[in-house]
Amino acid sequence: METWTLTGAHVDWITATYTRGPLIAEFMTLGCKILETEKLNGNPSHPANFNGYHGSSSLHAFVGYRKDGACIRLGGRASRLGWRSVAQRATNVTRLDIAITTTVDPVRDNVALELWNGVALRKNGRLSRADYSCIQSLNSGSSLYCGKRSSATYGRVYDKNAESKGHYPRGTWRWEVEYKPDVVKDLVALLLSRADSTWLLMAHVADRFDDWGITVPWRARSIRHRPIDDRTPSTAESRYNWLKDVVSGTVASLRPYYTSTEILGSLNLINLPYTSAKSEAEQWLRTEIDDLLAAGP
């Protein structure tokens, strides 16, 4: 009897930007810390460019700056750990990938091909190669692609054992959906509204593959690409404005009754290091620019 086991559900990629504003330094500082973490994990960074953003790239992260703002791209481990912090501080998310990892027992190496044949059968043999493709490679195993790279969503099912060169055990299959600007805003809002978004990740991927005529091997409640209400995810700028416009009034009303030390203590602002995020980011950016100039064209 065939048994499928779900072993992971996470955000596997995020591309986010911050348009120039009062809190861009916080966004850049976050990027610097991610690159530093990458370095500590053995993934040093090097000068890199992306869509006009100039900065640094490591194995799993890119952080860059241009005249109108900054950009952070994360993949793999960096995305699993840092996507939420990046999304919360960004003014725009342009791409988000969700990955579900499963294993099958007994081991099968032809899952992608069987899915391809199953979709072709359900489509009565009128399957368009423009919408689906199945690729088999000696080096990276077999993969099924659903949709077009230019469309709002794009899916992939592939042999993770072969793709990772044995890092994952045989029988491991990865189900991924790539979300683009037309749908990613609502998705990010919904994911940020939950402290634990695992079941949402499973449900979104299951729903999308169902639209492509593919049944996933895990249980998930159906949910479509709309947030449960009209709220949009908070950003660093919106939280700063809330602090300035709302909390500052409350603090002013308490000043006749409490000392400054007591008020600062209630806000957890006592004994904090007075480090300027802006100065940290500016120093990092200046170093990056100097390195780029030194490297020449």
Give the domain ranges of the chain.
Answer: 3-236
Question: Is the Cβ–Cβ distance between 218 and 4 less than 8 Å?
Answer: yes
For residue 178, the cross-strand partners are: 97, 154
pTM comes to: 0.75
Contacts of 158 (CB under 8 A, 6+ apart): 112, 140, 141, 142, 143, 144, 173, 174, 176
Q: Rounded distance, CA 90 to CA 260, Å?
A: 32
Q: Is 125 left (phi over 0), alpha (psi -120 to 50) or beta?
A: left
State mean pLDDT over 254-282.
64
Q: Rounded distance, CA 226 to CA 43, Å?
A: 37
**pLDDT confidence tier of residue 68, bands split at 50, 70 and 90:** very high
Q: Please tell me the predicted confidence (pLDDT) of residue 220.
A: 75
The per-residue pLDDT for range 273-297, each reduced to its tens digit, is 555 555 555 566 566 556 555 655 5
The number of angstroms, rounded, from the C-alpha of 37 to the middle of its chain's C-alpha atoms is 17
Question: Is the Cβ–Cβ distance between 107 and 173 less than 8 Å?
Answer: no
The per-residue pLDDT for range 181-196, each reduced to its tens digit, is 989 999 999 999 888 8
